[in-house]
Amino acid sequence: MSAYTPEQWAKIDADAAVMRGKARRRKFLETVANHSVLVAMSAIFIMPLYLIVVISLMTYRQASLRALWPSPFIWHNYIEVFHAVPFLHWTMNTLFVSTLTMIGTVVSSVPPAYVLSRLQWKGRNGTFIAILATMMLPGQVTMIPVYVIFAKLHWIPGYLPLIVPAFFSSAFSIFLLRQFFATIPDEISDAARIDGCNEFQLMMRIVIPLAKPAISAIALFAFLGAWNDFFGPLLYLVENPDLWTLGIGLTQFESLHHVDRNMLMTASALFMMPVIVIFFFSQKVFIEGVTLTGVKG
């Protein structure tokens, strides 16, 4: 044991204080640097959204001068757009397709996911791999024969080709639900079986209530997928303008009507608004859902 004199102790304490100060300063500088980068990146991510909103509130004259702030604010654009194009009609069409797609996906994906995760049967793993494989299959390969079937049924142009497949369950939703169902302990099901539950009751009363987050996630994904879809409506609705969804309507904006070009930004802002509102209310469900699809690949 070496003994220090009081002077030596004082020096050691002083050195330690300087070191702590340096470390604190370094930490502080690091925090400042991180936040600066994050703020700069946030500005870049926000910029296009900001520009869309401000341009949507300008006169066309002002917009074409590349102004960055509306003066005056033309709030009237947001009313005008409903008169200039059948915007409300397109919105209702989109809402109709998206809602039915969502219902179809949930109703038809829960039972297969249940069977794949909660029951033991021969060929279960093989079936699961087949489902994963169809997720990897490029849609272009099946697109033409499916189109031919719908054409023969005289369903084109019409909504049925967009909605009916949703009722035959999507591989992606089954996959996501299965991943979640598999985390529910088997003991819960065993207890319910002993109490005389049959498999259907078990699914309805036990597993579905427990899997609410995952079911909300697939409902949300199905709704947003249909709301944002462009290719499906392009194939099946384009020939009849009465059936157009927002996505199709927006691309036809300029060719159809003599409206100011910056009204396109007004329409785009209205098109994305519901999705962004939904996102703010369901951020947690959403992010958990995305995570579930990616990490357990």
Residues 109-168 that bind another protein (CB under 8 A): 109, 111-112, 115-116, 127, 130-131, 134, 136-149, 151, 165, 167-168
Query: Residue 215 Cβ, how far from another protein at the closest point, in Å?
Result: 16
Query: Residue 89 Cβ, how far from another protein at the closest point, in Å?
Result: 17
Rounded-to-integer distance, Cα 106 and Cα 217, Å:
10
- For residue 194, the number of C-alpha atoms closer than 13 Å in the C-beta half-sphere is 5
Determine the straight-line distance between the first and last CA of the chain, rounded to whole angstroms.
58
Closer CB to another protein, 191 or 213, in the complex = 213
Q: Please report whether residue 91 would count as binding another protein according to CB under 8 A.
A: no
Closer CB to another protein, 99 or 127, in the complex = 127
Query: Residue 274 Cβ, how far from another protein at the closest point, in Å?
Result: 10
Closer CB to another protein, 6 or 138, in the complex = 138
Rounded-to-integer distance, Cα 209 and Cα 114, Å:
13
Q: Which of 181, 189, 211, 247 binds another protein (CB under 8 A)?
A: 247
Q: What is residue 238's DSSP assignment?
A: T
The amino acid at 64: S
Token representation of residue 177: 């639900």
Q: Please report whether residue 174 would count as binding another protein according to CB under 8 A.
A: yes
Closer CB to another protein, 8 or 64, in the complex = 64
Closer CB to another protein, 130 or 191, in the complex = 130
Closer CB to another protein, 99 or 268, in the complex = 268
Torsion on CA atoms 97, 102, 107, 113, rounded to nearest 10:
130
Q: Binding to another protein (CB under 8 A): which residues in 265-294? A: 265, 268, 271-272, 275-276, 279, 283, 287, 290-291, 293-294
Stretch that binds another protein, among 82-90, 107-115, 192-200, 210-218 (CB under 8 A): 107-115
CA angle 56, 98, 261 (to 5 degrees): 20
Query: Residue 5 Cβ, how far from another protein at the closest point, in Å?
Result: 33
Closer CB to another protein, 2 or 121, in the complex = 121
What are the two backbone dihedrals, phi and then psi, of residue 259, each rounded to the nearest 5 degrees?
-120, 160
Q: Please report whether residue 103 would count as binding another protein according to CB under 8 A.
A: no
Rounded-to-integer distance, Cα 2 and Cα 65, Å:
79
169 sits in the region (left: phi over 0; alpha: psi -120 to 50; else beta) called left
Closer CB to another protein, 174 or 211, in the complex = 174
DSSP letters along 25-58, please? HHHHHHHHHHHHHHHHHHHHHHHHHHHHHHHHTS
Q: Binding to another protein (CB under 8 A): which residues in 187-216? A: none
Cβ contact 266:77 at 8 Å: yes
Q: Which of 91, 99, 216, 251 binds another protein (CB under 8 A)?
A: 251
Q: Binding to another protein (CB under 8 A): which residues in 31-90? A: 31, 34-35, 37-38, 41-42, 45-46, 48-49, 51-52, 55, 63-64, 66-68
DSSP letters along 74-111, please? -TTHHHHHHHHS-HHHHHHHHHHHHHHHHHHHHHHHHH
